[in-house]
Structure 1
Amino acid sequence: MTADGDNEYPRASNATLIGASITYIAGLFLLLSFAGPYWIESYPEMFSSFKHMGLWQYCFERFRFPSYQYDKYFDGCHYIFGQELYVIREWLLPGWLMAVQTFVTLGLMLSFTAQVLLACVIVRIPLRTVLRYEWMFVSAAFIMVSVSSVFLFFAVAIFGGNCYRRDWLLYPSFNVLSWSYAFAVIASILFGLAAVLLFLEARKLYEMRLEAKNLVAQMQHSQPEHALHQLRDQLHQQQQLGYFRN
């Protein structure tokens, strides 16, 4: 047995490769959306004191919050949980935005785990485990990618439905949804497409597994009968030899 012969094992199917590739691309869009500070921004020609924001960052230019009792300007880009925005955090971070943060974070975690599982299936590491439980790996990746797509759908729907509320950012008509939000929408669509391919592949692998189990069961069931037939043939031959000798 040569080294090349030792490496002759079933490779990942084209459906798995395509589904994994789409998952990786969607994961990149999701990562950029997660970290990007441009979910919504103001029109440049409006000269608004609010510039842009992401899930974790707000950017202002000499912004004064009307309800804050002290004469203070908020200027520059700051982390939402940082000390600079502490006094107006309750206004900047309403409940619906925290829900968006939660959905996007969970989607990112699930998609990353699915990418790890799909990488194991593609490179066949660990080989024995992947070959034996490939349908489980693909099924688990399908579930995670599907849930990620649903979570991102909820996130973009909630954000898109609330980002123009007048009790959040001042002068919402000056603002427009930006590229970080668009990337989240694209990621949700791509995850949905990848989930369809992974579902079809998982079902195919499960059916092949059932066929293999049925074949093994039939072989095990037929072996005793085959052995009994061989024993009968041997006894019959011995009886014939004894007859001729007599």
Structure 2
Amino acid sequence: MTADNEYPKASNATLIGATITYVAGLFLLFSFASPYWIESYPEMFSQFKRMGLWEYCFDRFRLPPYQLDKLFLGCHYIFSQEYYVIREWLLPSWLMAVQAFVTLALIFSLSAQILLACVIVRWPLRIVLQYEWIFVSLSFILVAASSVFLFLGVVIFGGNCYRRDWLMYPSFNVVSWSFAFAVVAFIFFGVAAVLLYFESHKLYELRAEARNLVAQMQHSQPEHALQQLRDQLHSQRQIGWNS
């Protein structure tokens, strides 16, 4: 067996936590980009059709308080020129807070996915072996923060989306699958954060052994040192699981 195959692989807990994080990231990405956070019932023939964090869709809509001789038709980006005159109504402060929380959750989750990818593929090898507990700990913090931010986002949106000073005739509307995806994502991030927390705690206890054995790689035969590192970390993990 070559030295490239001798180094200790990522633990099952890390692999499962990373997989759940990647799945949650996909749900979050679809929720972030899709315009289906809330939509009107088709049978109501409402002038409002649907909206997402960054897009609104109308069908010959006129906003009465503005007395504008303009009908809004089709789907447009919320910051487009088309919605300039009604943007203050379309984008209340609570919705801007939702946008900020979901955006932060997306950024943090992508950062965690990059760190977890480095841990799984073991690149760069020596740095990951020596500081794996730091990689996993940072991933835990980022994933936990993503879950918290998403929770705040869905709670704020769910508590305000039926306000009568926002979309007219709120009883004609219903939260849709983009909102549901955000809820699923925050739950998945929470589960992944728990797994990564316990794994980071185990890796923290093994940090001294890993540091010493990585140092030995620089002064002994690589195959022997890597084999020793793998065996010792494996035995330590087995003891941790059995205790």
RMSD value, Cα: 1.4
- Three-state SS of the structure 2 residue aligned to 1:67 is helix
Q: What residue number does 2:77 align with?
A: 79
Deviation at 1:67, TM superposition (A): 1.4
Deviation at 1:120, TM superposition (A): 0.2
> Are 2:161 and 1:163 aligned?
yes
> Are 2:120 and 1:122 aligned?
yes
Q: What are the Cα deviations for residues 84-131 of structure 1, in whole angstroms up to 9, with x where unaligned?
A: 000000000000000000000000000000000000000001101100
Letter in 2 for 1:173: S
Deviation at 1:6, TM superposition (A): 4.2
Q: What residue number does 1:205 align with?
A: 203
Q: What residue number does 2:106 align with?
A: 108
Moved over 4 A (4+): 210-215
- Three-state SS of the structure 2 residue aligned to 1:60 is strand
TM-score by length of 1: 0.84
In 2: Cα distance, 1:72 partner to 1:19 partner: 51
TM-score by length of 2: 0.85
Letter in 1 for 2:199: E
Q: Which stretches in structure 2 are left out of the alignment for 5+ residues?
A: 214-243
In 2: Cα distance, 1:205 partner to 1:59 partner: 49
Q: What residue number does 1:30 align with?
A: 28
Q: What residue number does 1:51 align with?
A: 49
> Are 2:108 and 1:99 aligned?
no
Deviation at 1:69, TM superposition (A): 2.7
> Are 2:147 and 1:149 aligned?
yes
In 2: Cα distance, 1:42 partner to 1:213 partner: 59
Aligned-residue identity in percent: 75
> Are 2:59 and 1:61 aligned?
yes
In 1: Cα distance, 2:17 partner to 2:7 partner: 21
In 1: Cα distance, 2:62 partner to 2:166 partner: 14
Letter in 1 for 2:40: S
> Are 2:190 and 1:192 aligned?
yes
Letter in 2 for 1:108: L
Q: Do 2:62 and 2:68's aligned partners in 1 also have CA atoms closer than 8 Å?
A: no
Q: Which stretches in structure 1 are left out of the alignment for 5+ residues?
A: 216-246
How many residues were matched structurally?
213
Higher relative contact order (CA 8 A, sep 6+): 2
